Structure 1
Amino acid sequence: MRIACQALIAVTLAAGLSLPAQAAYLWAARTDDGAVSLRLGELSSPRADDDAGTLLAPRAFLADGKALPLSRAGSGFAVEAGASGDVRAEARQLDGQGGLTIYHARAGRSETRAVSDLELVPTRPDGNTFRLFWKGKPVAADRVNVQTSAQWNRSLQAAKDGSVTLDTPFPGRYLLEVSVRVNGVVTVDGKRYEAVRHTATTSFEVGK
């Protein structure tokens, strides 16, 4: 995927000009049987089947770039059990007004390497401090939103070094989300869009 004005989004992020969280995002999570589910919507209220069907070019992959088979499952998608390590997924969605949203999702926090264009990455395996990366380089996010399966939600402000740290007082699923926008007309894969938004999520489980 080729995106014009890459420097612009890097400068925007470094300046802390991220957008408020949008209502929908893409998120990936391990299921009890070891598979990975991929859903569109908020953690507490996934979207319906027809909304997931509007996603363009959905794909799932590992840190080494190996593609994982992705199939429709209910109101989302699924990756069969057997994938080891953290699983990433990406998809796109048009807004009908000349805009494009590019979703990035990650299930797990065991790896400290950024793979997707926009990704929240733990500073140590299974840690609670995260850095935001754009194209493999750390940038500062103005705000990172946290939702949990226990309905404990927070908005985290970045520290001086650009990292965010969260507490995990409850067992269950935790999801971190950040959304940013590229200003001006943007070219993606040879097509021009009036606005391009990137939304990234990282989810993980905390045991009892």
Structure 2
Amino acid sequence: MKTLFLAVIAVLAAIPAAAHEVWIERDGTGPARIYLGEPAEAVPADGDPEWHHLQQPQLIGATGTLTRRANHIEAAVSGSGDLRVRDDAVFAPWQAGEAKQGAIFYARAGRAETGHKLDLELVPVAANGDTFTLLFRGKPLAHAKLAIVTPDRWQKHFATDAEGRITVPRLGRGRYLVGASHVENAPAKLGGQDVASVMHISTLTFVR
């Protein structure tokens, strides 16, 4: 188990801006804000140093207008349902050992819907509940590592159980973020380049 953990750390260390994630913040039915950065840190007024890499995230299951702001992309979408985005062009593929690896970023805001639309997604077992299943292409990922960031930016690592589930503890009022990643060892084409494996990186945000 220790060897596996060290291998995962080595993979993460190879990724450009490895600690970075894409996430969505949305309050009520107002415009959503799409960020690239480190969720446990305050977002600088002029954006994270890497945030310029986030250019054109794709809205999944929704339509709207994307507008670039100083430190985020604003998405004006209609309705109050959960919002999802996908972006496979945040960072160019990189060399990982003898082969190339790429990354696809996913983000979801809200926990009202119990269905999934992203390849890697945290899905509530019950609408607006505290227990989620981590799904990769619709199948649960057991014993997968997750990071939870609370409203006061307290961060702790957890793991899903044998059924791929995790219950997010209640630690204050405000916005929570849950992040997960999964390496798919299969060839793909990202950014016009052939890669031997893909790292899928996904976040879920919701307000309590």
Q: TM-score range by the shorter chain?
A: 0.7 to 0.9
| Residue 67 in structure 1 maps to residue 63 in structure 2 | yes
Find the counterpart in structure 2 of residue 55 from structure 1: 54
Q: Is the Cα contact below 8 Å between 2:37 and 2:48 reproduced in 1?
A: no
Cα distance, 1:182 vs structure 2:
2.2
Equivalent position SS for 2:74: strand
Q: Is the Cα contact below 8 Å between 2:92 and 2:191 reproduced in 1?
A: no
Equivalent position SS for 1:80: strand
Alpha-carbon distance between aligned partners in 1 of 2:7 and 2:110, rounded to the nearest angstrom? 23
Alpha-carbon distance between aligned partners in 2 of 1:162 and 1:17, rounded to the nearest angstrom? 22
Alpha-carbon distance between aligned partners in 2 of 1:141 and 1:67, rounded to the nearest angstrom? 35
Question: TM-score if structure 1 supplies the norm length?
Answer: 0.78
- Stretches of structure 1 that go unaligned for 5 or more consecutive residues are 1-14
Q: Is the Cα contact below 8 Å between 2:119 and 2:136 reproduced in 1?
A: yes
Cα distance, 1:53 vs structure 2:
2.6
Alpha-carbon distance between aligned partners in 1 of 2:48 and 2:66, rounded to the nearest angstrom? 16
Counterpart mapping for 1:139-158 below 5 A: 139-158=141-160
Find the counterpart in structure 2 of residue 173 from structure 1: 175
Which of 91, 95, 107 aligns to 1:94? It is 91
Counterpart mapping for 1:1-208 below 5 A: 19=8, 22-31=18-27, 34-43=30-39, 44-46=41-43, 48=47, 51-55=50-54, 57-61=56-60, 65-80=61-76, 82-92=78-88, 93-95=90-92, 97=94, 98-183=100-185, 185-188=187-190, 191-206=193-208
Q: Count residues in correspondence.
A: 189
Find the counterpart in structure 2 of residue 9 from structure 1: none
Question: TM-score if structure 2 supplies the norm length?
Answer: 0.78
In structure 2, relative to structure 1, the CA distance for the partners of 1:80 and 1:57 (3 Å cut) is closer
Find the counterpart in structure 1 of residue 15 from structure 2: none
Equivalent position SS for 1:112: coil
Code of the residue aligned with 1:88 in structure 2: it is: R
Q: Is the Cα contact below 8 Å between 1:144 and 1:156 reproduced in 2?
A: yes
Question: Could you tell which deviates more after superposition, 184-193 or 87-96?
Answer: 184-193
Q: Is the Cα contact below 8 Å between 2:93 and 2:195 reproduced in 1?
A: no
CA offsets per residue over residues 42-94 of structure 1, 9 Å max, x none?
22244736633323541223xxx233322212222111263320000111222
Identity in percent: 29
Code of the residue aligned with 2:177 in structure 1: it is: L
Cα distance, 1:19 vs structure 2:
4.1
In structure 2, relative to structure 1, the CA distance for the partners of 1:96 and 1:131 (3 Å cut) is closer
Alpha-carbon distance between aligned partners in 1 of 2:6 and 2:58, rounded to the nearest angstrom? 28
Equivalent position SS for 2:50: helix
Alpha-carbon distance between aligned partners in 2 of 1:203 and 1:17, rounded to the nearest angstrom? 28
Cα distance, 1:141 vs structure 2:
4.4
Alpha-carbon distance between aligned partners in 2 of 1:72 and 1:108, rounded to the nearest angstrom? 22
